[in-house]
Amino acid sequence: MPNVADALIYYVVFLLSTTLHEAAHAWTAHRLGDSTAYHGGQVSLNPVPHIRREPIGMVVLPLISALASGWPIGFASAPYDPRWAHEHPRRAAVMSLAGPAANLLLVLASAVLLRLGVATGLFYAPDHISFGHLAATTRSGWLEGVAFLLGVLFSMNLLLAAFNLLPLPPLDGSGAVPLLLSVEAGRKYQAAIWRMRGVALFGLFLAWRAFDALFNPVFLGAVSLLYPGVHYR
Protein backbone atom coordinates (compact mmCIF):
# COMPACT_ATOMS: atom_id res chain seq x y z
CA MET A 1 0.00 0.00 0.00
CA PRO A 2 1.52 3.38 -1.03
CA ASN A 3 2.38 5.93 1.66
CA VAL A 4 -0.56 8.38 1.51
CA ALA A 5 1.54 11.42 2.45
CA ASP A 6 4.12 10.63 -0.26
CA ALA A 7 1.34 10.00 -2.81
CA LEU A 8 -0.22 13.39 -2.03
CA ILE A 9 3.15 15.13 -2.42
CA TYR A 10 3.54 13.47 -5.81
CA TYR A 11 0.04 14.64 -6.77
CA VAL A 12 0.60 18.23 -5.62
CA VAL A 13 3.89 18.43 -7.55
CA PHE A 14 2.15 16.93 -10.61
CA LEU A 15 -0.65 19.51 -10.35
CA LEU A 16 1.69 22.50 -9.99
CA SER A 17 4.09 21.27 -12.67
CA THR A 18 1.33 20.55 -15.17
CA THR A 19 -0.27 23.92 -14.46
CA LEU A 20 3.00 25.71 -15.22
CA HIS A 21 3.49 23.57 -18.35
CA GLU A 22 0.08 24.48 -19.78
CA ALA A 23 0.32 28.13 -18.68
CA ALA A 24 3.62 28.37 -20.57
CA HIS A 25 1.95 27.03 -23.72
CA ALA A 26 -0.90 29.51 -23.30
CA TRP A 27 1.31 32.52 -22.52
CA THR A 28 3.63 31.81 -25.45
CA ALA A 29 0.74 31.41 -27.89
CA HIS A 30 -0.76 34.71 -26.63
CA ARG A 31 2.57 36.50 -27.11
CA LEU A 32 2.89 35.05 -30.62
CA GLY A 33 -0.58 36.00 -31.79
CA ASP A 34 -3.08 33.33 -30.68
CA SER A 35 -5.15 34.39 -27.67
CA THR A 36 -7.43 31.35 -27.60
CA ALA A 37 -5.99 29.98 -24.34
CA TYR A 38 -5.64 33.48 -22.91
CA HIS A 39 -9.37 34.07 -23.28
CA GLY A 40 -9.98 30.63 -21.76
CA GLY A 41 -8.08 31.67 -18.61
CA GLN A 42 -5.13 29.33 -19.17
CA VAL A 43 -2.48 32.07 -18.94
CA SER A 44 -2.48 31.55 -15.20
CA LEU A 45 -0.53 29.76 -12.48
CA ASN A 46 -3.85 29.17 -10.73
CA PRO A 47 -4.68 25.47 -11.30
CA VAL A 48 -8.44 26.09 -11.33
CA PRO A 49 -8.83 27.16 -15.02
CA HIS A 50 -6.68 24.20 -16.08
CA ILE A 51 -8.67 21.81 -13.87
CA ARG A 52 -11.88 23.18 -15.33
CA ARG A 53 -10.65 22.29 -18.81
CA GLU A 54 -9.39 18.80 -17.91
CA PRO A 55 -10.95 17.67 -14.57
CA ILE A 56 -10.41 13.97 -15.33
CA GLY A 57 -6.79 14.40 -16.38
CA MET A 58 -5.75 16.82 -13.65
CA VAL A 59 -7.73 15.63 -10.63
CA VAL A 60 -9.64 12.36 -10.90
CA LEU A 61 -7.13 10.14 -12.73
CA PRO A 62 -3.91 11.41 -11.08
CA LEU A 63 -5.40 11.35 -7.58
CA ILE A 64 -6.76 7.83 -7.96
CA SER A 65 -3.52 6.55 -9.51
CA ALA A 66 -1.36 8.28 -6.87
CA LEU A 67 -3.35 6.82 -3.98
CA ALA A 68 -3.54 3.38 -5.61
CA SER A 69 0.05 3.04 -6.84
CA GLY A 70 1.92 5.98 -5.32
CA TRP A 71 2.41 7.52 -8.77
CA PRO A 72 0.10 10.07 -10.50
CA ILE A 73 -0.89 9.51 -14.12
CA GLY A 74 -2.77 12.31 -15.82
CA PHE A 75 -3.00 14.74 -18.69
CA ALA A 76 -3.83 18.37 -19.48
CA SER A 77 -4.13 20.64 -22.49
CA ALA A 78 -4.27 24.26 -23.56
CA PRO A 79 -6.50 25.26 -26.50
CA TYR A 80 -5.13 26.97 -29.59
CA ASP A 81 -6.46 28.10 -32.96
CA PRO A 82 -5.55 25.58 -35.72
CA ARG A 83 -5.87 28.37 -38.32
CA TRP A 84 -3.19 30.37 -36.49
CA ALA A 85 -0.97 27.28 -36.29
CA HIS A 86 -1.44 26.66 -40.04
CA GLU A 87 -0.61 30.27 -40.86
CA HIS A 88 2.39 30.34 -38.51
CA PRO A 89 3.74 26.77 -38.13
CA ARG A 90 7.03 27.93 -36.59
CA ARG A 91 5.26 30.06 -33.99
CA ALA A 92 3.11 27.04 -33.15
CA ALA A 93 6.32 25.00 -32.82
CA VAL A 94 7.75 27.52 -30.33
CA MET A 95 4.47 27.29 -28.39
CA SER A 96 4.93 23.51 -28.26
CA LEU A 97 8.41 23.84 -26.77
CA ALA A 98 7.28 26.31 -24.11
CA GLY A 99 5.70 23.61 -21.92
CA PRO A 100 8.78 21.39 -21.61
CA ALA A 101 10.92 24.52 -21.18
CA ALA A 102 8.81 25.48 -18.15
CA ASN A 103 9.37 22.02 -16.66
CA LEU A 104 13.11 22.34 -17.20
CA LEU A 105 13.04 25.66 -15.32
CA LEU A 106 11.53 23.81 -12.36
CA VAL A 107 14.24 21.15 -12.65
CA LEU A 108 16.85 23.93 -12.50
CA ALA A 109 15.14 25.68 -9.57
CA SER A 110 14.91 22.47 -7.53
CA ALA A 111 18.54 21.63 -8.39
CA VAL A 112 19.68 25.05 -7.12
CA LEU A 113 17.79 24.55 -3.85
CA LEU A 114 19.21 21.05 -3.42
CA ARG A 115 22.72 22.35 -4.05
CA LEU A 116 22.17 25.16 -1.53
CA GLY A 117 21.10 22.51 0.97
CA VAL A 118 24.31 20.59 0.32
CA ALA A 119 26.43 23.77 0.57
CA THR A 120 24.89 24.66 3.94
CA GLY A 121 25.28 21.12 5.29
CA LEU A 122 21.54 20.39 5.46
CA PHE A 123 21.53 17.84 2.63
CA TYR A 124 24.07 15.40 1.25
CA ALA A 125 24.27 12.93 -1.61
CA PRO A 126 22.73 9.62 -0.47
CA ASP A 127 24.32 6.21 -1.00
CA HIS A 128 21.43 5.20 -3.26
CA ILE A 129 18.92 7.22 -5.24
CA SER A 130 15.53 6.55 -6.76
CA PHE A 131 12.88 8.66 -8.46
CA GLY A 132 11.98 11.44 -6.02
CA HIS A 133 14.53 10.37 -3.40
CA LEU A 134 17.59 12.41 -4.28
CA ALA A 135 18.84 13.92 -1.03
CA ALA A 136 19.65 12.65 2.45
CA THR A 137 19.45 15.01 5.42
CA THR A 138 21.57 15.67 8.46
CA ARG A 139 18.44 16.12 10.59
CA SER A 140 15.18 14.22 10.97
CA GLY A 141 11.69 15.70 10.89
CA TRP A 142 10.46 18.42 8.57
CA LEU A 143 13.80 18.68 6.74
CA GLU A 144 13.32 15.14 5.42
CA GLY A 145 10.00 16.27 3.95
CA VAL A 146 11.65 19.27 2.27
CA ALA A 147 14.37 17.05 0.79
CA PHE A 148 11.74 14.64 -0.56
CA LEU A 149 9.63 17.49 -1.97
CA LEU A 150 12.62 18.95 -3.83
CA GLY A 151 13.60 15.50 -5.09
CA VAL A 152 10.07 14.92 -6.43
CA LEU A 153 10.04 18.38 -8.03
CA PHE A 154 13.36 17.65 -9.76
CA SER A 155 12.46 14.11 -10.85
CA MET A 156 8.91 14.71 -12.02
CA ASN A 157 9.70 17.82 -14.03
CA LEU A 158 12.65 16.10 -15.67
CA LEU A 159 10.29 13.26 -16.61
CA LEU A 160 7.59 15.63 -17.91
CA ALA A 161 10.11 17.55 -20.02
CA ALA A 162 11.78 14.43 -21.42
CA PHE A 163 8.51 12.63 -22.17
CA ASN A 164 6.90 15.61 -23.87
CA LEU A 165 9.99 16.26 -25.99
CA LEU A 166 9.69 12.88 -27.71
CA PRO A 167 8.97 13.66 -31.40
CA LEU A 168 5.81 11.57 -31.48
CA PRO A 169 2.26 12.96 -31.85
CA PRO A 170 0.48 14.24 -29.82
CA LEU A 171 3.52 15.16 -27.69
CA ASP A 172 5.17 18.57 -27.75
CA GLY A 173 8.27 17.24 -29.47
CA SER A 174 6.13 16.41 -32.48
CA GLY A 175 4.65 19.91 -32.45
CA ALA A 176 8.17 21.36 -32.50
CA VAL A 177 9.17 19.57 -35.74
CA PRO A 178 8.16 22.54 -38.00
CA LEU A 179 11.08 24.48 -36.54
CA LEU A 180 13.33 22.16 -38.57
CA LEU A 181 11.32 22.58 -41.78
CA SER A 182 10.46 25.33 -44.21
CA VAL A 183 7.19 27.16 -43.55
CA GLU A 184 5.38 25.28 -46.32
CA ALA A 185 6.80 21.92 -45.28
CA GLY A 186 5.76 22.71 -41.70
CA ARG A 187 2.19 23.29 -42.86
CA LYS A 188 2.18 20.01 -44.77
CA TYR A 189 3.55 18.20 -41.71
CA GLN A 190 0.81 19.66 -39.48
CA ALA A 191 -1.88 18.76 -42.01
CA ALA A 192 -0.61 15.19 -42.26
CA ILE A 193 -0.69 14.78 -38.47
CA TRP A 194 -4.21 16.22 -38.24
CA ARG A 195 -5.48 13.93 -41.02
CA MET A 196 -4.24 10.73 -39.35
CA ARG A 197 -6.72 10.44 -36.49
CA GLY A 198 -5.28 7.28 -34.98
CA VAL A 199 -1.69 8.52 -34.97
CA ALA A 200 -2.02 10.19 -31.56
CA LEU A 201 -3.00 6.95 -29.82
CA PHE A 202 -0.24 5.06 -31.61
CA GLY A 203 2.27 7.78 -30.72
CA LEU A 204 1.33 7.65 -27.04
CA PHE A 205 1.57 3.85 -27.02
CA LEU A 206 5.00 3.95 -28.66
CA ALA A 207 6.23 6.68 -26.30
CA TRP A 208 4.96 4.77 -23.25
CA ARG A 209 6.71 1.57 -24.35
CA ALA A 210 10.04 3.22 -25.17
CA PHE A 211 10.25 5.79 -22.41
CA ASP A 212 11.59 3.69 -19.54
CA ALA A 213 14.71 2.74 -21.47
CA LEU A 214 15.17 6.32 -22.71
CA PHE A 215 14.57 8.09 -19.41
CA ASN A 216 16.95 6.11 -17.20
CA PRO A 217 20.17 7.51 -18.76
CA VAL A 218 18.64 11.01 -18.80
CA PHE A 219 17.78 10.72 -15.10
CA LEU A 220 21.20 9.39 -14.11
CA GLY A 221 22.92 12.03 -16.23
CA ALA A 222 20.94 14.83 -14.58
CA VAL A 223 21.69 13.48 -11.10
CA SER A 224 25.40 13.30 -11.97
CA LEU A 225 25.25 17.03 -12.74
CA LEU A 226 23.48 17.58 -9.43
CA TYR A 227 26.22 15.70 -7.54
CA PRO A 228 29.48 16.04 -9.53
CA GLY A 229 31.90 13.23 -8.78
CA VAL A 230 29.20 10.93 -7.36
CA HIS A 231 28.27 8.00 -9.58
CA TYR A 232 24.95 6.17 -9.42
CA ARG A 233 23.55 3.36 -11.54
pLDDT in tens, 68-99: 998 899 999 999 999 999 999 999 999 999 99
Q: What is the pLDDT of residues 17-66, one digit of tens each?
A: 999 999 999 999 999 999 999 999 999 999 999 999 999 999 999 999 99
Backbone angles phi, psi at 84, to 5 degrees: -65, -45
Mean pLDDT, rounded, for 145-172: 97
* 151 alpha carbon, distance to own chain's centre: 15
210 and 108 Cβ atoms separated by less than 8 Å = no
37 and 80 Cβ atoms separated by less than 8 Å = yes
Catalytic residues: 22
H helix and E strand count, the chain: 11, 2
Distances (CA, A) of 80 to 22, 52, 116, 175: 11, 16, 39, 12
Cα(35)–Cα(226) distance, rounded to whole angstroms?
38
Cβ count within 10 A of residue 77: 15
Q: Assign 3-class secondary structure to 186-222.
A: HHHHHHHHHHCCCHHHHHHHHHHHHHHHHHHHHHHHH
Domain boundaries, the chain: 4-226
Task: Name the region of 65 (left: φ>0; alpha: ψ -120 to 50; beta: rest).
Answer: alpha
Cα(194)–Cα(177) distance, rounded to whole angstroms?
14
Q: What is the pLDDT of residues 104-130, one digit of tens each?
A: 999 999 999 999 999 999 999 999 999
pLDDT on residue 1? 63
Neighbour-count burial of 109, counting CB atoms closer than 10 A to its CB (0-12 exposed, 13-18 middle, 19+ buried): middle
Q: Supply the pTM of this predicted model.
A: 0.95
Q: What is the pLDDT of residues 167-212, one digit of tens each?
A: 999 999 999 999 999 999 999 999 998 888 778 888 888 998 889 8
